[in-house]
Amino acid sequence: MKKTGVRGLAQATGLSVATISRVLNNADNVNKDTRERVLEAIRAAGYKPNPAARALATKRTRTIGAVVPTLAHSIFARFLNAVERELAQFGYALVIATTEGEPEAEERRVGELMDMGAEALILSGAEHSQALLARLDAAGVPAVCTSVCETANGLPAVGYDNCDIGRAAVTHLASVGHRRIAVLHGPKSDNDRTRLRIAGVENGARRAGVSVILQETALDVEGGVEGARALLDGTQDFSAVLCLSDVIALGVLFECNRRGLTIPKDISLMGCDDLDWAANSTPPLTTVRLPTARMGALVATSLAGLLDEDKPIRTARLEASIVERASVASPAE
Amino acid sequence: MKKTGVRGLAQATGLSVATISRVLNNADNVNKDTRERVLEAIRAAGYKPNPAARALATKRTRTIGAVVPTLAHSIFARFLNAVERELAQFGYALVIATTEGEPEAEERRVGELMDMGAEALILSGAEHSQALLARLDAAGVPAVCTSVCETANGLPAVGYDNCDIGRAAVTHLASVGHRRIAVLHGPKSDNDRTRLRIAGVENGARRAGVSVILQETALDVEGGVEGARALLDGTQDFSAVLCLSDVIALGVLFECNRRGLTIPKDISLMGCDDLDWAANSTPPLTTVRLPTARMGALVATSLAGLLDEDKPIRTARLEASIVERASVASPAE
DNA sequence: TTGTAGGCGTTATCAG
DNA sequence: CTGATAACGCCTACAA
């Protein structure tokens, strides 16, 4: 009866499993003819190495896990898209886990990913529970924090400076003359990036001598609509609204349209992310472009570099840039 | 010296590996006290079963692969989000592969997924290369086609009826009085769902006795803008534009805003997908709601059912429904 | 209820 | 350059 796997090939070729294994991993020390013979047998048998057996023997799974809040926000989807594309280049598979808005789930998800053999992990943001960190280094599993450019827990980070982003955004608004700026942002709780951006906004406002009105809302279009309503129906005065996420800005845009407010004549609008519709909206949205795709690619190459040639991961700070379009103008009066 | 794995635990507890393994897989035939003792040892040792070894012994990886065109379109991201959530309930990991707009890459990606041990695959659309199909059943790897409700290749499908969707959409438009309808759709090549929707549109138009103007464009907001321009600058007359994807509709909405055309007074607009902004746009978008999340969940449970209790996957046709909002009205004339 | 022993398919270490 | 053979860590008949 035909044996399976390398054994079968060994039998078929009259060689030993060692030799088969060698050509499988293209080791150099194998006779050209022998190799050809093996290759032929492999082809003939339609042989595929068993990944589990290989993983067991090598202790490498070539799998990397990523845990993100959700895939439903295109910012994460775009990021993971880039990660996946790049990881594939290096022969790594990406397995995804979402926390669906319960940050407490992060540790659990990380555990599941580790339990299924992930060799490294991609995390969102800089803050992670002590338990999670403990687990990581108990198992010696490397991890990278993303969307941030520094952490206080020893993990490397690959991302952008959220504080700077907030600061740059208000500064830009102030520079064209806005003195009172409404700032719409997503939930602060469990989102260090939002908190960082807000801190940057406050810092920038102070420096520029302008005042900000902070308003928290849900991180989606509806949240933008509601935030705009609260702001517009409120008693506070402002000439521009800065949204710390483009999705929120889209809601504001819609709500302004609804009220017959024209942007940027009646009110200036600025976002953050530079989602794909931003260049095509009416008016085109001035926003902060986040290097999402570059970040994804860099995370992937960093991880591959670490795993394949154990180059330590260097924390990287990618530049975000303001892209001026038509939704911001100098205030009227 | 301490041994590793189950062997170590066996030694530590004075039991045999078999017993350890039994409690690990919570077999019922193990003494309550014994089990407790093992559990304690496991806790004490911080023991984690090695997934590769387990996979090797059981021939199960508890991993499912999905190949989608991209994660950058929220329709796929939302779908996979649902798949992931549900799969996690059953203890399966989701590994994702994207084809990034080269459909020829699908077979390669499928191969990679199989080579890394995926037990089943989730495919997009009903059409797949012969080679891919051959590979699947050569390896005996089950697969489901999604976003469609039937296939001609023997694979089960879980999704919706795209033809019906197109038909329902024009029919709706016709029912409120539109006689000439412009239809904006994404690339037909390599997208059977789009082709199906178009077929439905044509069929519905014929039945309702209305005429359609088909226009292909890129499947993104910019594509919508450009499509709208082509249509609006063209010589053909129409009172409504039906977009076979909401992203395209968003572009049309923006372009109409830009031209001072008000929807639905000057022109009616209808989309397809029901993305999250659709309910909040100005005006709120009338669209066809695709059961993306339900589809994802069903795909996941179907696969789990097949793998865990080998219940064959039943092709399922999920209902899409028109959600009437304010972007469609009877034509003026 | 518990233990023994063999196998899952590769890789890797030594010899030859 | 090639071949035995022992891991790798877990599961699972078959026995006891």
Name the residue range of residue B13's domain.
6-58
Any residues with CB less than 8 A from the CB of B74 and at least 6 apart, and which? A72, A74, A77, B247, B275, B276
Residue A328 lies in a domain: no
CATH number where B114 lies = 3.40.50.2300
Please check whether residues B204 and B271 belong to one and the same domain.
yes
Length A91 CA → C5 C1' (Å): 37
Task: Indicate whether A205 pLDDT > 90.
Answer: yes
Instruction: Check pLDDT > 90 for residue A3.
Output: no
Tell me, what's the pLDDT at B124?
A: 97
Q: Mean pLDDT for chain A?
A: 96
Q: How far is CA A30 from CA A17, A20, A25, A248, in A?
A: 13, 10, 11, 61
Residue A245 reports pLDDT greater than 90: yes
Edge-to-edge strands of the sheet including B316-318?
A: A316-318, A157-160, A143-146, A120-124, A63-68, A93-98, B93-98, B63-68, B120-124, B143-146, B157-160, B316-318
- What is the rounded CA–CA span in Å between residue A172 and residue A45? 65
B19 nearest nucleotide via C1' and CA = C2
In a domain, B171, yes or no: yes
The number of folded domains in chain B is 3
Interface contact flag, A100 B80, Cβ < 8 Å: no
Nearest CA to B156 among B317, B315, B303, B318? B315
Q: How many CB pairs under 8 A join A and B?
A: 153
Domain check: are B74 and B16 in the same one?
no
Interface test with B, best of A56, A76, A269 (most B CBs within 10 A): A56
Asked, for residue B1, whether it belongs to a domain, the answer is no
Same domain, A167 and A285: yes
Share of chain A above pLDDT 90, in %: 95
pLDDT at A1 over 80: no
What pLDDT was estimated at residue B301? 98
pLDDT of residue B1: 61
For B:10-69, CB contacts with A below 8 A are 46, 48-53, 55-56, 59, 61-63
Residue A330 lies in a domain: no
Same domain? B171 vs B258: yes
Residue finishing a domain among A289, A307, A327: A289
> Does residue A88 sit in the same domain as residue A170?
no
pLDDT at A101 over 90: no
Interchain proximity B96–A74, CB inside 8 Å: no
Give the integer Cα–Cα distance in Å for B7 and A153: 35
Please answer yes or no on whether A51 and B117 come within 8 Å at the CB atom. yes
pLDDT at B101: 81
Indicate whether A22 belongs to any domain.
yes
If asked whether residues A182 and A275 sit together in one domain, one would say yes
In a domain, B326, yes or no: no
A268 within a domain of the structure (yes/no): yes
Shared domain for A190 and A140, answered yes or no, is no
How far is the C-alpha of A273 from the C-alpha of A174, rounded, in Å?
20
Question: Would you call A131 an interface residue with chain B, using a CB distance cutoff of 8 Å?
Answer: no
* One domain, residues A299 and A265: no
- Residue A2: band (very low, low, confident or very high) from pLDDT cuts 50, 70, 90: confident
A111 close contact with B: CB closer than 8 A:
no
Listed in sequence order, the residues at least 6 apart from B239 whose beta carbon sits closer than 8 Å to its beta carbon are B177, B178, B179, B180, B181, B267, B268, B331, B332, B333
* Same-domain check for residues A267 and A167: yes
A254·B53 Cβ contact <8 A = no
- Same domain? For A103 and A152 the reply is yes
Given CB atoms, is B141 within the 8 Å cutoff of chain A?
Answer: no
Task: Decide: helix, strand or coil at residue B288.
Answer: strand
B88 contacts chain A (CB < 8 A): yes
Assess B98–A contact: CB distance below 8 Å, yes or no: yes
- Is A88 within 8 Å of B277 when comparing Cβ atoms? no
Residue A119 in any domain: the answer is yes
Read off the DSSP letter of residue A54. H
**What stretches in chain B show pLDDT beneath 50?**
none
pLDDT at B333: 61
- Is the Cβ of A97 closer than 8 Å to some Cβ of chain B? yes
State the pLDDT at residue A144.
Answer: 98
Which residues in chain A touch residue B84, judged by CB atoms under 8 angstroms apart? 71, 96-98
- Token pair of A300, please? 């992937």
pLDDT tens digits for range A168-198 = 999 999 999 999 999 999 999 989 999 999 9
A140 or B332: which carries more pLDDT confidence?
A140
The DSSP code sequence of B36-71 is HHHHHHHHHHT----HHHHHHHHS---EEEEEES-S
The phi-psi region of residue A318 (left if phi > 0; otherwise alpha if psi is between -120 and 50; otherwise beta) is beta
Instruction: With beta carbons less than 8 A apart as the criterion, state whether A176 and A139 touch.
Output: no
- Among the listed ranges A1-10, A118-127, A267-276, B321-330, which one has the minimum average pLDDT value? A1-10
Show which positions of strand C are touched by protein (CB under 7 A). 1-14
User: Which DSSP string do the residues of B149-184 spell out, in sequence order?
Assistant: S--SSS--EEEE-HHHHHHHHHHHHHHTT--EEEEE
Residues B37 and B75 reside in one and the same domain: no
Contact flag B98-A81 (C-beta cutoff 8 Å): yes
Burial class (CB in 10 A: 0-12, 13-18, 19+), A331: middle
> What is the nearest CA distance from A280 to chain B, expressed in angstroms?
6
Here the CATH number for the domain that contains residue A15 is 1.10.260.40
Interface test with A, best of B81, B94, B274 (most A CBs within 10 A): B81
> Residue A333: pLDDT band by 50, 70, 90 thresholds?
low
Q: Return the exposure string of A132-164: e unless at least 16 CB atoms fall within 10 Å of the residue's CB, then b.
A: bbebbeeeebbbbbbbbbebeeebbbbbbbbbb
Whether the pTM exceeds 0.85: the reply is: yes
pLDDT in tens, A260-288: 999 999 999 999 999 999 999 999 999 99
The band of A208, judged by pLDDT with boundaries at 50, 70 and 90, is very high
On whether both B281 and B231 belong to a single domain, the answer is yes
| Through-space separation of residue B7 CA and nucleotide D12 C1' in angstroms | 15
To test the contact with chain B by mutation, choose from A116, A136, A220, A325 the residue with the greatest count of B C-beta atoms within 10 A, namely A116
